[in-house]
Structure 1
Amino acid sequence: MNSPNNDPQVHVINHPLVQHKLTLMRKKEASTNSFRTLLNEISMLMAYEVTRDMPMQEVEIETPLETMSAKVIDGKKLVLVSILRAGTGILDGMLSVVPGARVGHIGLYRDPKTLQAVEYYFKMPKDMQERDVVVVDPMLATGNSAVAAIERVKATHPKSIKFVCLLTCPEGVATLRKAHPDVPIYTAAIDRQLNSHGYILPGLGDAGDRIFGTQ
């Protein structure tokens, strides 16, 4: 994992397995089922890096031979926040790794004319002040949806926030870093640029459409 341009808040997860699966996902001939399966797998792999600094606590357990003190994470303190609808693809994979995590949802859609995020749903767990949040969305393109989602999450005053995406671009990174410089970004790749319609190039198309088989 490295940080481009020496920005300690931007983390590119360049593990060979992550990069291999991302390449397979980019292919236009990848089926809906294949795309969905690969996203689930890549999300599990990325979860290892994203949760690397999660706090641990000591508990007493019994092995078949004796009692010992051992470390565990408290998954219930973690909240995975999915930006609907495409965020569901990353959410499922991460829940496989941290099944005890709570889940929040933010419903946003991108106005096709203004490219601005419009909210239609917001539901979070209770006691957010005690929780660490990971906001997930496959694509950080214009950055407008991510900025709006994190702004809403910040209003609940969680202990910390991270943003995880599969793909981003320099424009998306710049927008999110400017609006929320305290929120680290985790991604598998920073692609070349946005096109005039707000899509990442070379990218992989519309993640939501490819996950759900819509267009």
Structure 2
Amino acid sequence: MSANEFDNVSVINHPLLQHKLSYVRSADTTTDNFRRLVREISHMMAYEITRDLPTEKIAITTPLTTFDSPVISGKKLCLVSILRAGTGMLDGMIDLLPGARVGHIGLYRDPESLEAVEYYFKVPEDIQDRLVIVLDPMLATGHSAIAALDRLKEVGVTSIKFACLLAAPEGLRNLLAAHPDVPVTTASIDWHLNDHGYIVPGLGDAGDRIFGTK
């Protein structure tokens, strides 16, 4: 499915990223390799999602001369991981953005209603002054992502982006209806959700595969 069907959605089609994503999907990929690949894909996504960060010029002295060179301006951004699977993407993002502040939102999906239930929320005190990138490998029904974005807006965050490895069309529609102002970056828009709310073809349960719990 194409991102052209959705406003404010970017799909990263880089061949190297898609190559790695294929092995992330494979049921034969071991826990250690799955974790490594998610981290590497997150590196690549970090480049794309931060493409429009503001910059300013400062004086730099090279071995040959002094000149004005660009650096990222303003307060450092904040990465917010939706627990627990978002931790796998967080590790990769921090590799490239070591100065970023970090927040965590603990959500679990009620098995009957598929609605998101919050059990933990910890973010920087000045998060409302920062660009926030919310991380969750899977955008399935969209309920967890919507709940996380609702919560962040409640504490005053106005600049937010959302990043995921895979998105279902149903989840994208729900998320964009609830938060049309939040850009979404993903590596793939998959086919659909099954009767249990899992993304097809998907990659299974991202949390279980990252942490080896199943």
1:195 lines up with 2:198 in the alignment: no
Looking at structure 1, the residues matched to 189 and 174 of structure 2 have their Cα atoms a distance apart, in angstroms, of 14
| Equivalent position of 2:97 in the other structure | 98
Counterpart check, 1:155 vs 2:139: no
Partner Cα distance (2:26, 2:2) in 1: 26
Residue identity matched to 2:141: T
Alignment of 1:56-75 (within 5 A): 56-74=55-73
The 3-state SS of whatever aligns with 2:69 is strand
Cα drift, residue 47 of structure 1: 0.7
The answer for unaligned runs of 5 or more in structure 1 is none
CA drift of 1:69 comes to 1.2
Q: Residues 6 and 194 (structure 1 numbering): CA distance in 2 closer, same or farther, change over 3 Å?
A: closer
Does the 8 Å CA contact 1:75/1:99 hold for their aligned counterparts? no
TM-score normalised by L of structure 2: 0.96
Cα distance, 1:75–1:110 mapped onto 2, change above 3 Å: farther
Residue in 2 that maps onto 1:30: 29
Structure with larger RCO (C-alpha < 8 A, sep 6+): 2
Question: After superposition, where does 1:9-48 map in structure 2 within 5 Å?
Answer: 9-48=8-47
CA contact (8 A) 2:2 2:189 kept: no
- Asked whether 1:210 is paired with 2:213, we answer no
Q: Per-residue deviation at 1:207? A: 0.2
Q: Does the 8 A contact of 2:140 with 2:198 survive in 1?
A: yes
Change (3 A) 1:210 1:74: farther
Corresponding residue for residue 124 of structure 1: 123
| SS of match in other structure, 2:63 | coil
Q: What displacement does 1:156 show? A: 2.2
Identity fraction in percent: 63
Q: Tell me how large the CA RMSD over aligned residues is.
A: 1.5
Give the letter for the 1:25 counterpart.
V
Give the TM-score taking structure 1 as reference length: 0.96
Distance 1:7 1:207 in 2: 24
SS of the residue aligned with 1:166? strand
The one-letter code matched in structure 2 to 1:86 is A
Question: Deviation digits for residues 142-176 of structure 1, max 9, x if unmatched?
Answer: 10000000001112222410000000111010010
In structure 1, distance between residues paired with 2:60 and 2:114: 52
Q: Which runs of 5+ in 2 are unaligned?
A: none
